[in-house]
């Protein structure tokens, strides 16, 4: 049972990995279950032994991926706080963590962005929950920064959080897709400059 959970775990992981790249490339509907099974090196029957349906496989994939992202953002924020860093430093660390995540799981990010704002989809409610968890991490840091006077009281927390997340997401996807020659540090510096307001002026 202990060992069987492991075997099952391994198969599920292989299926996640196969599904995430295929769906990122082609979208959910034009990715077939046969393709996923083949890429994972597993029989089609196994997919249905492990997941109720193609949709359920996808929903669990979303939960799994956003869980990793949220944990990584939270860890970056916590480390900065422990070191006694400022909130801007925490945001900076979170940008870096976000970039690291996207670098490690570009397909997942792509797929997440592609699905996030769609309405009328089976997994809409799953996405809503999962998005809220991720955005909440950023919002909390912003709120703390305003409370302790480090950040301007004028900022609109939910909108600024969304804008920051968007800035990182889009810059990173663009980097992956169109500007491969850049290093993660290049991207991080560009975003850091924007965050710290050093674009205009000097």
Would you tell me which residues interact with DNA (CB under 7 A)? 1, 3-5, 7-8, 10-11, 30-34, 41-46, 48-50, 53-55
Q: Which of these, 33, 64, 58, lies nearest to 48 by C-alpha position? A: 33
Which of a copy of itself, DNA, none has residue 34 at its interface (CB below 5 to 8 Å by kind)? DNA
Instruction: Give the integer Cα–Cα distance in Å for 71 and 74.
Output: 5
Coil, helix or strand at residue 40 = helix
If the CB atoms of residues 37 and 69 are measured against DNA, the closer one turns out to be 37
Instruction: Give the integer Cα–Cα distance in Å for 75 and 65.
Output: 16
Instruction: Tell whether residue 154 is a contact of a copy of itself (CB under 8 A).
Output: yes
Instruction: Tell whether residue 4 is a contact of a copy of itself (CB under 8 A).
Output: no
Instruction: Tell whether residue 184 is a contact of a copy of itself (CB under 8 A).
Output: no
Q: Residue 196: in which H helix or E strand, if any?
A: none
Instruction: Give the integer Cα–Cα distance in Å for 25 and 115.
Output: 13
Instruction: Give the integer Cα–Cα distance in Å for 52 and 47.
Output: 8
If the CB atoms of residues 57 and 187 are measured against a copy of itself, the closer one turns out to be 187
If the CB atoms of residues 4 and 200 are measured against DNA, the closer one turns out to be 4
If the CB atoms of residues 3 and 119 are measured against a copy of itself, the closer one turns out to be 119
Instruction: Tell whether residue 183 is a contact of a copy of itself (CB under 8 A).
Output: no
Instruction: Give the integer Cα–Cα distance in Å for 12 and 168.
Output: 30
Binding residues for a copy of itself, rule: CB under 8 A, are: 24-30, 88, 110, 113-121, 131, 150-152, 154-156, 158-160, 162-171, 173-179, 182, 186-187, 189-191, 193-202
């Amino acid at each position: 049972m202990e060992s069987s959970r492991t075997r099952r775990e391994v198969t599920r992981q292989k299926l996640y990995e196969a599904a995430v790249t295929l769906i990122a490339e082609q979208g959910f509907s034009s990715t077939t279950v046969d393709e996923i099974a083949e890429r994972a090196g597993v029989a089609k029957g196994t997919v249905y032994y492990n997941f109720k349906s193609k949709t359920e496989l996808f929903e669990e994939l979303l939960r799994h991926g956003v869980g990793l992202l949220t944990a990584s953002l939270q860890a970056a924020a916590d480390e900065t706080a422990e070191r006694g860093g400022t909130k801007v430093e925490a945001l900076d660390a979170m940008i870096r963590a976000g970039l690291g995540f996207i670098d490690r799981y570009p397909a997942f990010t792509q797929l997440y962005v592609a699905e996030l704002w769609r309405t009328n989809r089976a997994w809409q409610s799953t996405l809503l929950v999962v998005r809220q968890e991720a955005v909440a991490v950023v919002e909390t840091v912003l709120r703390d920064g305003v409370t302790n006077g480090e950040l301007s009281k004028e900022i609109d927390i939910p909108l600024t959080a969304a804008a920051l997340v968007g800035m990182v997401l889009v810059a990173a996807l663009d980097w992956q897709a169109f500007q491969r020659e850049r290093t993660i540090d290049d991207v991080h510096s560009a975003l850091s400059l924007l965050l710290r307001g050093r674009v205009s002026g000097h």
